[in-house]
Amino acid sequence: MSTFLQQLFNALALGGVYALVALGLTLVYGVMRVPNFAHGGLYMLGAYLSYAVLTGLGWGYVPALLISAVGVALLAAFMERVIFYPMRNAPHVHPMIAAIGVLFFLEAAVQLVWGPDFKQITEPVPGIVNVGGVIVTWQRLLVIAASVVVMLGLNYFLKRTLTGATIEAMSQNREGARLVGVNTNRVGMMTFAISGALAAAAATLIAPIISVSPSMGEVMNLKVFAIIILGGMGSVPGAIVGAFLLALAEVFGGYYISLDFSDVIGFAMLVIVLALKPQGLFKRGT
C-alpha cells in the first residue's frame, strides 16, 4: 500500500509538470491553430535559464524560476512576432517546419553555451518528508503544490478576467473576436508568452528531480503532443486530464510492469484512446 501511495505521489508530481507544459501548448494551438513544435525547446531553455541564474548569479531558486519564466515568456512572444505572425496566411506546414527549425536552433544554441553534458540543479528544499507512512521528497511536494497553484491561477485568469476570456474567445471564433474589437495579434503574443512562462516554470520545478540536458525538450515535446492529442487539441481540461493520465500510466506501468516500458505504455494508451475516440477525450464544439 505504501509503495502504491509513493508511486501515486511520483505520478502526481510528473503529471503536474506535464500539465503545465501541455496547457501552454494547447492554448497556443487553440489561438493560432498551429502546433508549436518549438514548445519543448522553450521548456528546455527554461531549465537552462534557471540553471544560469542559480549557478552563474548565485541567486535563489524562486528568483531563478521567476526570471526564467519571464525570460522564456519574452522569447516566446518574440517568436510569435518574427516567425508565426509573418506566416499567418501561409499553408499550415510552413509554420510547422519553422517551429521545428526553432527547436533545433534552441538546442544547438544551448549546447554551444552550456555544452552537451548533463547539468544538475540542486533541490531548494533538500530531504524527505513522511506523509502518513509514505516517504516523499520535499521537491516532489513542491512540484505538486506549485503546479496546482499555477493551474488555479491560470484558470482564474481564463475564466474570471476579460483579458483571459479573449484567449478562449479567439480559439472558439477568431473572426467573431475580431468583430467585437479584440486585437488578435496582441492575444496571439500574450498566449505565446503565457505558454513560454508555463513551460519554463515546469522545467525549473522538475529540473532538480531529473537532470538538465539539451535534448530534454525533444522528449517532453513527444509527451505533451501525445497529451494534447489525447485530451483534444485546444482543450484546457483535456490537457490537464491527459497529463495526469499519461503520468499515471508511465509511473505505474514503469513500476508494476517494467521501467523499460514506461514510455511505451504512455503511447500505447494514446493509440488505444485515439482508436476509440479519434477526437480525443474532450471533443471541441468548434
Partner 1 sequence: MLEIRDLSVNYGHFTALHSLNLTVSPGEIVVMLGANGAGKSTLFRTLSGLQRPSGGTATWNGVSLTGGKPEFNVANGVAQCPEGRLLFPELSVEKNLRLGAFVHRKDAAGTARELERVYELFPALVEKRNVPAGSLSGGQQQMVAIARALMARPTLLLLDEPSLGLAPLVVEQVFEAVQRVNAAGVGVLLAEQNAFAALGIAHRGYVLEGGCVSLQGSQHELMTDDRVRSAYLGV
- Nearer Cβ to partner 1 (130/286): 286
C-alpha grid cell, residue 219: 522528449
Question: Are the C-beta atoms of 200 and 69 separated by less than 8 Å?
Answer: yes
- Nearer Cβ to partner 1 (126/176): 176
Question: Are the C-beta atoms of 203 and 47 separated by less than 8 Å?
Answer: yes
Question: Are the C-beta atoms of 99 and 37 separated by less than 8 Å?
Answer: yes
Cα dihedral angle (132, 134, 136, 140), rounded to 10 degrees? Answer: -80
Residues of this chain that interact with partner 1 (CB under 8 A) are 162, 165-166, 168-169, 172-173, 175-183, 284-286
* Distance (Å, whole) CA 75 – CA 62: 20
Is the dihedral angle over the CA atoms 19, 25, 26, 28 positive or is it negative? positive
* Distance (Å, whole) CA 256 – CA 16: 21
- Nearer Cβ to partner 1 (2/161): 161
**In the complex, minimum distance from the CB of residue 158 to partner 1, in angstroms, rounded to a whole number:** 11
- Nearer Cβ to partner 1 (180/276): 180
Q: Which residue has the cell 518549438?
A: 38
Question: Are the C-beta atoms of 56 and 50 separated by less than 8 Å?
Answer: no
**In the complex, minimum distance from the CB of residue 118 to partner 1, in angstroms, rounded to a whole number:** 43
- Nearer Cβ to partner 1 (1/162): 162
**In the complex, minimum distance from the CB of residue 183 to partner 1, in angstroms, rounded to a whole number:** 5
**In the complex, minimum distance from the CB of residue 170 to partner 1, in angstroms, rounded to a whole number:** 9
**In the complex, minimum distance from the CB of residue 182 to partner 1, in angstroms, rounded to a whole number:** 6
**In the complex, minimum distance from the CB of residue 171 to partner 1, in angstroms, rounded to a whole number:** 9
**In the complex, minimum distance from the CB of residue 165 to partner 1, in angstroms, rounded to a whole number:** 6
- Nearer Cβ to partner 1 (14/28): 28
* Distance (Å, whole) CA 150 – CA 143: 10
C-alpha grid cell, residue 197: 512562462
- Nearer Cβ to partner 1 (167/227): 167
Question: Are the C-beta atoms of 96 and 221 separated by less than 8 Å?
Answer: no
